[in-house]
Structure 1
Amino acid sequence: MRAAGGGARMATTAADFARRRTWVQLVGLLIALAVVARLGWVQLIVGPELSALAAQQRTVTLVDPARRGAIEDRSGNALAFTMEARSITVHPNTLRSYIEDRHRLWPEDTEEPEPRMERIAEELPGLIGVRDLDEIDRRTGGRRRVGDAAERVEGAAAVPEGISSREILDKLRNEESTYEVLVRNVDPDKAAAVVERFPELVAERQDIRQYPNGAVGANVIGKIGMDGVGQFGFEAARDATLQGVNGGRTVDIAANGIAIPGSTRDRVAPVDGTSYELTLDVDMQYQVQQQLEQAVANSGAAGGSAVVLDARSGEVLTMAQSGTANPNKDIGVEVEQGRSIGNTAVTSPFEPGSVAKVITAAAAIEDGVTTPDEVHTVPGSIRMAGVEVSDAWQHGEERFTTTGIFGKSSNVGTLMLADRVGQDRFARILTAFGLGQPTGVELPGETAGLVPSRQQWSGGTFANLPIGQGMAMSLLQMTGIYQTIANDGVRVPPRIIRASTAPGGDRVEAPEPEGVTVVSPETARTVREMFEAVVQDDPTGVQQGTGPQAAVPGYRIAGKTGTAQKVDEDTGAYSNSRYYITFAGIAPADDPRFVIGIMLDEPVRGVHGEGGQSAAPLFHDIAAWALDRYNVPPSPPAEGRLLLDAG
């Protein structure tokens, strides 16, 4: 009986085991089927999508920056160019773990994070060849000398003269930051030595825009910002073509952040920017800018500007203004210190005053309503278009020639001649001289000036326009008027670009602008001769013009002085104490080479510190230098003296 019962129990155990094994096999089969199904789903259904996502995570597109085009003057002297440099950067949020991993693997050859970061901060200034400003702090009792961290003033690159090891260490310790720039503008070889010494740092390419002449011509050339985009001046006007087109390439990045060898693809080469040759003469620009700065300082003026044009081509040889910012310095600081990033000769209109009387003279001679030697009885005042206008000095009736009216700068005589010309004709000749419209020079922010349309003229308009008031123009427009007279009556729109050079090296001359005939060559020559009276000297004063200080010995000079009342912002009326002082002239008058326009804003003395407020002496200084530099032969002696006052 016991044997039979034991056999039954054994049979039951075997059956239970068989059932359990069946269940285990079934569960295993289900798991296997689930795994196979999952693998099939991944491989066949979502596999392509997951593969694409993985590729996106490891694929990086790198930018190969284009080199910005250079800017040169008319003789090939560098005005702006780009030099390749490096920025030393770091990722502070991963720096500590990186150093810890290296120390764990090579404990004898590496340091703990804190000593390592201290060593980086201590050695970095020496590795890039600059001073440690914190060493200076210690030598000066904890006070950093002003200017030790300043950028070089006249040097091309904005390379720091010193960096603070303390500030470097603070950046390295800042674990909340994902990216820090430790120092910019580092020489590529020195940057490579830094990265070799400290692999946890990165040397990133950085293009430095160099301005080797500092503030000279900066109002024209302009500057680019940290993002490589032109901020003002020519750099802004031609930013798109100067920049070029960046290239790029696609690479795969491994988990350690290193590019996978052989994964580079889709490479597109960068196209460098176009380079430009400007019409500027940098030596003349320097000379005029220095003379202008000195004149503004001597005269106590609020500011000033000067333009020199080639008399025939209209090319801008010089465009200077006082107080120009230095693009090699911090522009924000420069502006705070009162220096300018603008270009007033192009952007800022003003009333020219008597300088504009040459328009009246040209119209009167062209239309044959007078001759240079005609004698006029000129009273001390005249009622014109319902407005009483007087001369700048009190006088009774004077017998001035037409030449004398302009040589003496008589408002009354000028309006008498304008009345002969007529309002409609005068309005047309203003347009022919290009007033009230931009010149088209290749610079940003150019003003069109302000000339009331003929339909807007009121009773007093014609009493103001012929004597240079009631309208506004830029200094470039004002100088362009005299370029027309210098160029035998043909106005050539001024230009600043002489040629461009494509990335491939092909040089293309800038097209010459089409000239506009304003008056005949005979009229232009006659007006030039008449306006030589302005610089004529006479010990008795009878036959003397208003600007004899503009004369250059050995050369015939034609020009015109100007004084224009500024508008009082509070009253809206003309001020009796604030003036624009102007001068425009042609050198030499008999065979024109240069046209020079000058504007001084509210001078209180002469440009050499003498009495009076004339800009004529500054014209003399600029013209004499230009004539000498370009070896212009002296003028043939003039015959006799021009008659201004017929007594």
Structure 2
Amino acid sequence: MIRLGLPKPHSARSSARYGHEQLSHRAAGVAVVIALFVVFFLGQLIRVQVFNAHDTAMAAQANRTLKATLSAKRGKITDVNGTVLAQSVERYTIIGNPEAAQAFEPTKCTKQTQDYCHALNGKDLSTSGVAAVSQLLAPVLGMNASELGGKLSGVGQYAVLKKDVTPETKRKIDALHLGGIIYGTLSNERLYSNGTLMGTLLGGVDAEGKGVSGIEQMEDKLLTGTDGYEIYQQGLGGEQIPGTLTESKDAVNGQTVTLTIDRDVQWQVEKILLDAQKTYKAAWGIAVVQDVKTGEIRALADTDTVEAGSDDAKLNVSRAVSETFEPGSIGKVFTLSGLLQEQQHKMTDRFTVPDTITINGQTYKDAENHGAEHWTLAGVLQQSSNVGTIMASENYPDNLRYQYLKKFGIGQPSGLTLPGESQGILRPDTTWDGRTRNTVLFGQGYTTNALQITNAVAVIANKGVHKPQTIIKSTTDAQGRTTPYHTDGKSERVVDESVAKDVLNAMESVSDNYSKFASVKGFRVGAKSGTAEVPDANGNLTSTISDYSAIIPADNPQFVVTVVLKDPQGVFGGLTAGPVFAQIGQFLMQKYEVPNSAPRTDAIPVDW
């Protein structure tokens, strides 16, 4: 009988031996895995530190390297004497990092941390994050902590907190030890030191500092500087690590533009104009003061009170350069100049002048009714006779009427290139109808601006020579080198010196006619007034332009002054714009200490 054998049960000792062997196998497996990981990481470490050390260092340096822009300042605008009219000052835009602000943990103040801890009024902060940053920053920026907190509670790493912050405030912010959370970028704020003085004429700049109107726009290229840069490594707080500057280029500030405008004259002229606007209840007023010998504009003013640099100054142009009008009887100066130059008449030629005249079915009349008057050509100008001017021009062909107006600069660009300048309208003589060919003789049928009228009259003051006008005197670069401003215009003779002398003589008789209203004590003046009906806002001929252009002193011409008023009470130019000129002329003679005039002894007879 066969007995099946059963396995003998393991003893406790054999079971323990089996478990130990299993554990040993597992431990060995884990050890192998750990060893493999160690070998792998050692290999990576060796690769990074030995084989790729240079690349790794370069990558780390690149992450720390910053190219910071060095902003150039926009150049100054000054008057002819160097008085600053516009300048850029150092300002900062304060930027916040919302993500960093939300993670901010203030450092308590101890002996070890007192140089960089965070405290408010000597006490440690009890808050953290955005609330703590806002508590520290709000008093320095002069902002509400809640408003500031709202800006820092957003997403991202960039939020503009405040613009145009002064360097002093920026230093206070730096002292808060919020590097990496709050920082400032350099910008420039444009300041205009004289308020509404030359408001629209100076114009303004946009948010990027680019000139968008007025002289700021006209000379933007010269005024704009060239930014520089610095390349350096920065610390965790955004600060420059000392000794890490690797490359830099200095910023080059914009050039200083010096105007021919005299601030004191401009201020006085603007004040006189505004007072006249109230006195005569005029819609607006314009005045120009020009130096005879140089063509430089000393004042270019109007009654619009606009702050320089304001939105209004950026959106509008100077009325003194944009407003055009029919000059009225001032135009007779150019007609008589042409007649004398073409040797059709002399100032002593005699005329019997009625108050009306009809030519080819067209009737023309003088401003006032009168009988047949015995006037010389000088008297025709003195009495501002439309009829006498037409009579004297009987043989004056249309092409010469047009050519002389053009030579005097009527309807032509001034050459100043001021933004918004309107040159007026002078249509070719081939387009004139039967009436226009005669109205152009006495300043109607074409339009001009105050600058043109002033320079045209300056031809007579300047012995028959038309000089280019200038409003820029010079420019000075960042190295202090001053360059006279170049103008493309050139001087051109319009009429002979003897012709200009005779016309000025007759203009002095005009001034004598207004001696009760428009004289300047101690000085001889050569002048011409004008009054013209112009369309109103609805196109009806119910508005009036009253103007007055004068040379002072007549015996030694220094300045030409033109005043233009729209719809003044008193209407006639000699009675409204004339007295305004007299105030300006008196100021000019005193300011520039011009010697008194010699007595007049050579007046051309005005009647016979």
TM-score normalised by L of structure 2: 0.84
User: Which residue number in structure 2 is paired with residue 172 of structure 1?
Assistant: 149
User: Secondary structure of the equivalent of 2:455?
Assistant: helix
> Among residues 69, 74, 78, which one is paired with 1:72 in the alignment?
78
Cα deviation for residue 534 of structure 1 reads 1.2
* Residues 580-624 of structure 1: CA deviation (Å, up to 9, x unaligned): 1111110011210000111111212479xxx99521001111111
1:534 aligns with 2:510: yes
* Residues 64-104 of structure 1: CA deviation (Å, up to 9, x unaligned): 01122222222222222233244555445542422457799
Cα deviation for residue 239 of structure 1 reads 1.2
> Which residue type is aligned with residue 196 of structure 2?
A
* Residues 314-345 of structure 1: CA deviation (Å, up to 9, x unaligned): 001111111231227xx24x67xxx9952122
- For residues 306 and 40 of structure 2, the distance between their equivalents in structure 1, rounded to whole angstroms, comes to 77
* Residues 467-497 of structure 1: CA deviation (Å, up to 9, x unaligned): 1111111111110101111101111110011
User: Secondary structure of the equivalent of 1:614?
Assistant: helix
User: Secondary structure of the equivalent of 1:555?
Assistant: coil
- For residues 83 and 377 of structure 2, the distance between their equivalents in structure 1, rounded to whole angstroms, comes to 46
1:84 aligns with 2:90: yes
Contact 1:276–1:501 under 8 Å retained in 2:
yes
> Which residue type is aligned with residue 493 of structure 1?
P
Contact 1:67–1:244 under 8 Å retained in 2:
yes
User: Which residue number in structure 1 is paired with residue 408 of structure 2?
Assistant: 433
CA distance 1:29–1:87, change in 2 (3 Å):
closer
> Among residues 564, 569, 594, which one is paired with 1:632 in the alignment?
594
CA distance 1:204–1:29, change in 2 (3 Å):
closer
Cα RMSD between the aligned structures? Answer: 4.0
User: Which residue number in structure 2 is paired with residue 124 of structure 1?
Assistant: 140
User: Which residue number in structure 2 is paired with residue 129 of structure 1?
Assistant: none
User: Which residue number in structure 2 is paired with residue 143 of structure 1?
Assistant: none
CA distance 1:449–1:240, change in 2 (3 Å):
same
CA distance 1:27–1:122, change in 2 (3 Å):
closer
Aligned-residue identity in percent: 27
Contact 1:89–1:181 under 8 Å retained in 2:
yes
User: Which residue number in structure 2 is paired with residue 112 of structure 1?
Assistant: 127
CA distance 1:16–1:22, change in 2 (3 Å):
same
User: Secondary structure of the equivalent of 2:247?
Assistant: strand
1:403 aligns with 2:383: no
> Among residues 517, 529, 536, which one is paired with 1:561 in the alignment?
529
Contact 1:385–1:463 under 8 Å retained in 2:
no
- For residues 199 and 525 of structure 2, the distance between their equivalents in structure 1, rounded to whole angstroms, comes to 30
- For residues 571 and 103 of structure 2, the distance between their equivalents in structure 1, rounded to whole angstroms, comes to 70
Aligned pair count reads 584
- For residues 42 and 359 of structure 2, the distance between their equivalents in structure 1, rounded to whole angstroms, comes to 105
> Which residue type is aligned with residue 280 of structure 1?
I
> Among residues 385, 405, 413, which one is paired with 2:388 in the alignment?
413
Contact 1:92–1:173 under 8 Å retained in 2:
no
Contact 1:583–1:616 under 8 Å retained in 2:
yes
> Which residue type is aligned with residue 529 of structure 2?
T
Contact 1:168–1:182 under 8 Å retained in 2:
no
User: Which residue number in structure 1 is paired with residue 485 of structure 2?
Assistant: 510
- For residues 102 and 447 of structure 1, the distance between their equivalents in structure 2, rounded to whole angstroms, comes to 68
1:595 aligns with 2:560: yes
User: Which residue number in structure 2 is paired with residue 142 of structure 1?
Assistant: none
Cα deviation for residue 115 of structure 1 reads 6.7
- Unpaired runs of at least 5, structure 2: none
- For residues 536 and 571 of structure 2, the distance between their equivalents in structure 1, rounded to whole angstroms, comes to 23
Cα deviation for residue 568 of structure 1 reads 3.9
* Mean CA deviation greater in 257-266 or 212-221: 257-266
* Residues 101-149 of structure 1: CA deviation (Å, up to 9, x unaligned): 7799979833314774674477437xxxxxxxxxxxxxxxxxxxxxxxx
> Which residue type is aligned with residue 507 of structure 2?
F
User: Secondary structure of the equivalent of 2:352?
Assistant: strand
- For residues 31 and 361 of structure 2, the distance between their equivalents in structure 1, rounded to whole angstroms, comes to 118
- For residues 242 and 602 of structure 1, the distance between their equivalents in structure 2, rounded to whole angstroms, comes to 39
> Among residues 479, 500, 524, which one is paired with 2:454 in the alignment?
479
- For residues 170 and 433 of structure 2, the distance between their equivalents in structure 1, rounded to whole angstroms, comes to 70
Contact 1:304–1:598 under 8 Å retained in 2:
yes
* Mean CA deviation greater in 191-200 or 580-589: 191-200
> Which residue type is aligned with residue 450 of structure 2?
L
> Among residues 324, 340, 344, which one is paired with 1:365 in the alignment?
340
User: Which residue number in structure 1 is paired with residue 104 of structure 2?
Assistant: 98
> Among residues 232, 241, 259, which one is paired with 2:222 in the alignment?
241
Cα deviation for residue 640 of structure 1 reads 7.0
CA distance 1:320–1:27, change in 2 (3 Å):
same
1:493 aligns with 2:487: no
Cα deviation for residue 442 of structure 1 reads 4.7
Contact 1:382–1:389 under 8 Å retained in 2:
yes
User: Secondary structure of the equivalent of 1:429?
Assistant: helix
CA distance 1:555–1:23, change in 2 (3 Å):
closer
Contact 2:427–2:446 under 8 Å retained in 1:
yes
Structure of larger gyration radius:
2
CA distance 1:366–1:124, change in 2 (3 Å):
same
Cα deviation for residue 441 of structure 1 reads 1.1
User: Secondary structure of the equivalent of 2:547?
Assistant: strand
1:269 aligns with 2:259: no
- For residues 85 and 22 of structure 1, the distance between their equivalents in structure 2, rounded to whole angstroms, comes to 68
1:189 aligns with 2:168: yes
Cα deviation for residue 63 of structure 1 reads 1.0
- For residues 520 and 204 of structure 2, the distance between their equivalents in structure 1, rounded to whole angstroms, comes to 37
User: Which residue number in structure 1 is paired with residue 576 of structure 2?
Assistant: 614
CA distance 1:90–1:298, change in 2 (3 Å):
farther
Cα deviation for residue 555 of structure 1 reads 1.6
> Which residue type is aligned with residue 111 of structure 1?
S
User: Which residue number in structure 1 is paired with residue 418 of structure 2?
Assistant: 443
TM-score normalised by L of structure 1: 0.79
Contact 1:365–1:523 under 8 Å retained in 2:
yes
